[in-house]
Amino acid sequence: MNRLDRRLIRLRPRATALHVSHDRTVLVLARNGFIHPDEHEGLFVDETRLLSRYDCRIDGHALLPVALSNVAQHSWLGYYIIAPPGAGHGRGNIFSPAKPAQQTIEVRISRFVGEGMHEDLDLTNFTQRAVSVQLALTIDADFADQQEIPKSSKQHGQRTCEWVESRRELTFDYRAEHSYVNQSERGVASLHRGLTLRVTNADSPPEFHDGRIVFTVNLAPHGHWHTCLQWLPFIDGQSLQPCYGCHCFEASSALFLEEATDFSTLAGHTLQHTVIETLQQGKRDLAALRFHHHDSNERNWTVAAGIPLYVSLFGRDTLTTGWEAALLGPELMRGALTALARTQGTEENDWRDEQPGRMLHEAHRGPQATLNFNPKGRDYCSVTTSNFYPFVLAQLWHWTGRKEEVAPYIEPAMRALQWLKAADLDQDGFVEYQTRSTQGARNQSWKDSNDAMVYEDGSQVPTPIATCEEQGILYAAKLNMAEVLWWFDRKDEATQLHHEAIELKQRFNEAYWVPELDCFAMALDPDKRPVRSIASNPIHCVVTGIAERELALRTLDRMFAADMFSGWGIRTLSAQHPAYDPYSYHRGSVWPVEHGPFAVALYRYGQHERVHQLCQAQFELASLFDFCRLPECVSGHPRDEAHPFPALYPDANSPQAWSASTPLTLVQVLLGLQPFAPLNMLFIDPQLPEWLPQFTLHRLRVADAIISIRFFRTASGRSDYEICEQRGTLHVIRQPSPWSLTATVPERLRDLLEGFLPGK
C-alpha cells in the first residue's frame, strides 16, 4: 500500500476503556469517564479492584461528555456539560431541543492517580440565571481480584460499608481468609483491604443516602462550586496516601528523565518526527511504569510489565526492558538485577516451581495470590529469567565499568547458571522445561502461552521441551559471564564457562538445524525430535551468536519470506502453518519486543538494508497508534491493499515496558553503538537510512563520561558523526560493533584511522 496514505489511521488498544496509572495503582474507566458494574473497569491497587462502581449525575440525569483525555499517564481530565433545570428533557443529547451547549452547566472532573487517587469536581454555571442542582455520586467496592473479572470469585470475605458524617468519610472494608493445602505448603492466609472516600474542601456539605453521596449545589450566574475527593486505599495493614493533590497534571520531574539520554533530529520529514516521538514516549512510559515499592534508590529501580494486566514484577520483562533501555542509562538494569537477586529461589517448592538459584518469573499481590489460591505471589515458572540474568549483568558491566556496582550481582548470576544445569532434565546438554506444579505454566520459555509450542501439523508439543532460543540465551549468558569473571580475576571459572559455551554451540547446530526448512527447529520434543514449525524463535539464535554463520544467514533469509514478515514485523508463527492465527498470543501475532534483538541479529551479519526495513516497519507501526506508543503485540495480518493497518490482540497491554524500550534498541542498532566502559570506549558504526538522515544523542552516559554525538548521512550516502560535547574520559572509536560478525580488517582499519580526524 502507499506508505503515505495513513494520515487518518489512529489505533488505540482496548478502545472501550481509558487507563490512568502510577506505580501499583491503575484506574480503568469506561469511555464516558466512569466505572460501570460488571465490567473490567475500576480503581485497582495491588491488582485488587477497590472501586467497582462510580457514576456522577445531576438531578438524576447523565452528564454529556464533550472532551475526555489523559494529560499524563497519572492524570486525567474530563469536560462534561448539562442543561440547567427547566431547560427541557433530553439534556444528555447535544442535538436535543435543550441544546446544553447553548445553556451550559459545566462539570469538570480532574483525576490524579498514585497510591490511590485525588479527584477534583468543579461545577460552573455558564448561564445568566441562578440554578440549584443535586450532584449525586453512586459508589461501590467489590475487592475482586483483577484476574477474577468478570468470572465468579474464588474468594469470599466479609465486606462492610460505613459513612461517618463528622469526618465526611465513606469507608468500605473487606476481610477474607483461606485455608490452603497445596503440594508444598499449608496454612491459613488472610487479606484485609479497604477504600475510604474522604470529602474535603467542599463548597457545600455532602449527605449519604442509599449508596450515594449527594451535594446540593447552588450556583449564581457564572458561579463556581468545588470539592476534593480523596480515595484512600488500605492494603493489608498499610494506609496509603495519594501522591498528588489538586491540579497536578504533570508528574514531578523524575531524576531519570532529567539524566536520561535525549534525542533530536531534523524537522520536516514525517518518519523522523515519528522516530523522535516514539523514543520520547517510550522514555516517558518507562518512567510512568516505575514500580516504586521495588526501588532501592533514584538510580536503581524497575518497572511494572504493562498496563492494565501486568502491574507486577515480571523477571524476564524487567531484565529485557533494562537491557533494551540501556541507551537511556543503567537505572533499569540495576533495578532488575537487584529485585531479582532479592527474590531468587532458595528452596525446593514444587507448587511454585521454585528451586535454589532459580530466578523469579512473576510476583503478584492480588487477592488470589495473597490468599494462596494460586502460586503467583511468588512464581518461578520460567527458564528465561535465569538464562537472561547473567547476560544483563554483563551489559551493566559494559555500560558502567564499575566493579563495586557489578560485584553484588555476580553470585546471584552464578547460582542461576548452576540452576540451569539442573534444568537440563535428561543431562543431554540442553535446557528443558517441565512444570512440577499442579498450577504451573505449561510453557516456560519466551513463548509461555499454553498453546504456543506446536508441531508442524498443528498439534501441541508435550513437555519436557527444549526450545531453540533458550539454548541461544544460555550460550550468550555463559560467554558474557565468562568475560565478567575474567575481569574479576576468576579466570578458572571464566575458562570453564567459555569452554561450556563453545561446546554448547557445536552441539546445538548439529541437533537443531533442519536443512530442508532452511531454518533451526523451534524446539526439541521429549524424544529429542526437532519440532519442524517455522516460527520467530530461531532468530534469537542468530542474535545470541549460537548459530553458525552459514546457518544464521539462511535463517535470516527464511524469516523475511512473505509467510513470516508481515510488512509490520516478523510473525511469531508462519502464516502457512496449520495453527496460524493472526489474533493469537504466540501463533501468528507480531511482537515489537522481538524486533530489537532481531535488528541486532541482522546487524551482526551486515544486513543493513534489512535493518532499515525492519526499523522502518516498526516506526511506521508506532505512527498508527495514539502517542506513537507501541502496544504489547499486534495481529499478523499482511500489510497490503486489503489490510491498511493491522488488527490488535484483544488484551494487549499499552503501555508495555518492553514495547516502550524496543525503539531504543532499534536506534542503537542503526547507530552501531556499543559501549565498553571498562576501557572507557564507545564503539560506533552508524548506518543511517534515507528516512533518518540525521540523528543526535544528547547526554549519553558511558562509564563516568557524558557525551552528545550528532550522526548524519553525507552526500555520498555514507553515515558519519561528530562529537558535539563531552565531559569525562571516553574514547569514541568508529568500528563495527562487537556485535558484528562480518566486518573486515580493512574496514576496521579505515574506520580506526578516521577516528583521529578533528571532531572525532
Is residue 735 scored above 60 in pLDDT? yes
187 close to 173: Cβ distance less than 8 angstroms: no
Instruction: Evaluate whether residue 733 is within a structural domain.
Output: yes
Is residue 448 scored above 80 in pLDDT? yes
* Each residue's pLDDT tens digit, 402-424: 999 999 999 999 999 999 999 99
Domain extent for 692: 675-754
- Of 620 and 7, the structure prediction assigns the larger pLDDT to 620
Beta-strand ranges (E) seen in 339-394 are 362-363
How many structural domains comprise the chain?
3
Average pLDDT over residues 511-535: 98
CA-CA distances (angstroms) from residue 154 to 174, 372, 483?
Answer: 15, 11, 49
Residue 353: closest CA among 287, 418, 428, 441: 441
Is the whole model's pTM more than 0.85, yes or no? yes
Instruction: Evaluate whether residue 8 is within a structural domain.
Output: no
* Each residue's pLDDT tens digit, 359-374: 999 999 999 999 999 9
Split at pLDDT 50, 70, 90, the class of 741 is low
Query: Last residue of a domain, which of 531, 558, 585?
Result: 558
Instruction: Evaluate whether residue 174 is within a structural domain.
Output: yes
pLDDT of residue 94: 40
Average pLDDT over residues 224-243: 95
pLDDT of residue 755: 54
Average pLDDT over residues 651-680: 96
Give CA–CA dist 302/711, Å, rounded. 30
Task: Tell me the one-letter amino acid at 733.
Answer: I
- Overall residue count recorded for the chain in this entry: 760
pLDDT of residue 89: 46
Grid coordinates given for 265 = 533530529
Question: Rounded to 5 degrees, what angle do the CA atoms 225, 229, 233 make?
Answer: 180
Split at pLDDT 50, 70, 90, the class of 99 is low
Grid coordinates given for 703 = 562509564
- Of 396 and 12, the structure prediction assigns the larger pLDDT to 396
pLDDT of residue 564: 98
Instruction: Evaluate whether residue 233 is within a structural domain.
Output: yes
pLDDT of residue 87: 73
Average pLDDT over residues 293-298: 83
Average pLDDT over residues 310-333: 96
Instruction: Evaluate whether residue 520 is within a structural domain.
Output: yes
Phi, psi angles (nearest 5°) of residue 638:
-70, 150
Instruction: Evaluate whether residue 602 is within a structural domain.
Output: no
Instruction: Evaluate whether residue 409 is within a structural domain.
Output: yes
Average pLDDT over residues 138-147: 93
Split at pLDDT 50, 70, 90, the class of 151 is confident
Question: Rounded to 5 degrees, what angle do the CA atoms 378, 380, 384 make?
Answer: 135
Give CA–CA dist 526/513, Å, rounded. 17
137 close to 119: Cβ distance less than 8 angstroms: no
pLDDT of residue 737: 62
Split at pLDDT 50, 70, 90, the class of 210 is confident
Query: Last residue of a domain, which of 541, 558, 575?
Result: 558
Residue carrying the nine cell digits 494486566: 309
Average pLDDT over residues 214-231: 97
Q: Quickly count: other Cβ atoms within 10 Å of residue 523's Cβ.
A: 30
Check whether residue 538 and residue 683 sit in a common domain. no
CATH for 504: 1.50.10.10
Check whether residue 50 and residue 185 sit in a common domain. yes
Instruction: Evaluate whether residue 285 is within a structural domain.
Output: no
Give CA–CA dist 53/694, Å, rounded. 51
Split at pLDDT 50, 70, 90, the class of 136 is very high
> Exposed e or buried b for every residue in 221-252, given b needs 16+ CB within 10 A?
eebebebbbbbbbbbeeeebebbbeeebeebe
Is residue 742 scored above 80 in pLDDT? no
Query: Last residue of a domain, which of 539, 558, 577?
Result: 558
Average pLDDT over residues 448-461: 97
Phi, psi angles (nearest 5°) of residue 275:
-55, -50
pLDDT of residue 294: 83
Grid coordinates given for 712 = 548524519
Average pLDDT over residues 109-124: 96
691 close to 616: Cβ distance less than 8 angstroms: yes
pLDDT of residue 12: 85
Average pLDDT over residues 111-119: 96
Split at pLDDT 50, 70, 90, the class of 10 is confident
Is residue 4 scored above 50 in pLDDT? no
pLDDT of residue 357: 98
Average pLDDT over residues 121-132: 94
CATH for 227: 2.70.98.40
Is residue 50 scored above 90 in pLDDT? yes
Instruction: Compute the 3-state secondary structure of the chain and give helix, strand, coil in percent, each to the nearest 5.
Output: 30, 30, 40
Is residue 702 scored above 50 in pLDDT? yes
Q: Give the least confident one: 10-24, 337-351, 594-608.
A: 10-24
* Percent share of the chain, pLDDT over 90: 83
pLDDT of residue 97: 36
Average pLDDT over residues 19-44: 92
Residue 670: closest CA among 739, 621, 724: 739
pLDDT of residue 171: 97
Split at pLDDT 50, 70, 90, the class of 625 is very high
pLDDT of residue 251: 76
